[in-house]
A and B are shown apart, each in its own frame.
Chain A
Amino acid sequence: MTTVRTTTPAPPPRLPVRDKAAALDRGWGGVSPMLTRLAAERATGILVRERGTLHLADGQVVHAESPSAPGLDTLLTPHGGDPAPGALELCHLTALYDAAYFTLAPSSTPGRFRYGSAVGLDGPLALGAVRPVPVAALERETLRRRDLLHRIWPDPTTDEAPLTRPDRVGAPPCPARRRAVLARVDGVRTALDIARELGRPAFHTLVDVRRLAAAGVVSPRPPTPAEAPPPPPQPLLETEVVDPHITLLKRLRDALEAL
């Protein structure tokens, strides 16, 4: 009679995981270790990441730009004349956090840092100095924003895809600000396009679009035939082979199929 060993082998040691609680205690959640290091050494210069740039002065963020976020000029566009200092500061901070949100998005390539002066005084800061934002605050806010979007509607597809309204009948009423977004959903525009047209921050538009998606009013447009991935290449058999035996076999197959 054989005996079966029932002792199970000891489980493999657990893989090390990043201690998120400790990271939060430090005031950052590992959004960008490089940025955290630059803040610690009070660096001045420009951090270039895949989706945008952060300008640092003494380790604090004084300006941010991203192709995914409308700039200060766009946010102020409908404003006639010189904006009041409070309004300018409000817009600048809003634009900074907006661009930083996209700049700090997970990226596939490492960031680069160019030491030197941050944005020049003849640059965007000439419009009005912004209160420098500590890196830890910016990283916390960026994580909070990701979480906010996820809680509204967990599917991020609507963040970048052209948007469409699948069913115009029976759409629930929505507030004026969101209606302005909805009115521009046409199967072509993306959330960023709509943000630019409305002179709103991109993140704010993502929030509205996710709320609309959660309500079932807006969805990402499925790819059109023109944009659909090209069909897989035809098997060689169909196109190039001229072997007479194969030709005969194909004719035989066609004849059998025709029966």
Chain B
Amino acid sequence: MPGIDECLLEAMRLPGARGAALVDWTSGLALGAVGESPGGDQEAAAAEAAELARLAAEQHAFTADGGTEEEGADPPVEDLILSNRDSYHVLRFVRTSFDSSVFLHLWLARTEGNLALARIRLGEMAGRLVLG
């Protein structure tokens, strides 16, 4: 029955993991963070990732067909993947049974990271975090 930090520490065991955070995309607050922070500033990284997540979550074009047109617990987007020359960022939206707007942000070194594995594991962790 993991709490936030246990969940983030588990994410850090993924190969190539450099940093992990649980971020609220409405406020931009990091509710938890472990490891390094992209850009070196945890609060700035959380606010910037939140802005990206919010844009993805709020655009109609990215919503699944027959998806969450009305308010519900399902986030409209499952995950976001961003790559650059040396790293991957995976943003996994967390589904909760109460109203929330949070996502897991995993930062992976590109050379060691396994994107497919990270996506699967993050999905599992997101489920365990809130459903026990």
Given A173-B60, A179-B71, A198-B99: A86 in contact with B26 (beta carbons within 8 A):
no
Given A175-B57, A180-B71: A76 in contact with B29 (beta carbons within 8 A):
no
Given A173-B60, A180-B71: A203 in contact with B27 (beta carbons within 8 A):
yes
Interface membership of B31, Cβ < 8 A: yes
Q: Is the CB of A176 within 8 A of B69?
A: yes
Q: Is the CB of B130 within 8 A of A90?
A: yes
Q: Is the CB of B28 within 8 A of A177?
A: no
Q: Is the CB of B27 within 8 A of A176?
A: no
Residue of A nearest to B50 (CB): A148
Interface membership of B121, Cβ < 8 A: no
Interface membership of A140, Cβ < 8 A: yes
Q: Is the CB of B28 within 8 A of A78?
A: no
Q: Is the CB of B71 within 8 A of A144?
A: no
Segment from A15-23, A57-65, A91-99 that makes contact with B: A91-99
Q: Is the CB of B26 within 8 A of A84?
A: no
Q: Is the CB of B3 within 8 A of A76?
A: no
Given A94-B24, A94-B31, A144-B28: A177 in contact with B71 (beta carbons within 8 A):
yes
How far is the CB of B55 from the nearest CB of chain A, in Å? 10
Interface size for A (C-beta < 8 A) is 39
Q: Is the CB of B132 within 8 A of A131?
A: no
Interface membership of A199, Cβ < 8 A: yes
How far is the CB of B100 from the nearest CB of chain A, in Å? 7
- Residues in B with CB closer than 8 Å to A177 are 58, 71, 101
Q: Is the CB of B3 within 8 A of A200?
A: no
How far is the CB of B123 from the nearest CB of chain A, in Å? 15
How far is the CB of A73 from the nearest CB of chain B, in Å? 11
- Residues in A with CB closer than 8 Å to B131 are 84, 87
Within 8 A of B (CB), among A103-148: 131, 140-141, 144-145, 148
Q: Is the CB of A89 within 8 A of B4?
A: yes
Q: Which of A75, A84, A173, A198 contacts B130 (CB 8 A)?
A: A84
Given A84-B130, A175-B57: A90 in contact with B22 (beta carbons within 8 A):
yes
Interface membership of A157, Cβ < 8 A: no
Interface membership of B76, Cβ < 8 A: yes
Bound together, the chains give a CA A83 to CA B76 distance in angstroms of 22
Bound together, the chains give a CA A175 to CA B70 distance in angstroms of 9
Interface membership of B47, Cβ < 8 A: yes
Given A80-B97, A84-B130, A89-B4: A207 in contact with B22 (beta carbons within 8 A):
no
How far is the CB of B119 from the nearest CB of chain A, in Å? 20
Q: Is the CB of B27 within 8 A of A90?
A: no
- Residues in B with CB closer than 8 Å to A84 are 1, 128-132
Q: List 9 A-B contacts (CB under 8 A).
A: A83-B97, A85-B132, A86-B1, A87-B129, A90-B102, A141-B29, A175-B59, A177-B101, A180-B71
Apart from A91-B98, A97-B27: 10 A-B pairs, beta carbons within 8 A: A75-B99, A77-B98, A85-B3, A85-B132, A87-B132, A148-B27, A174-B58, A175-B58, A199-B98, A199-B99
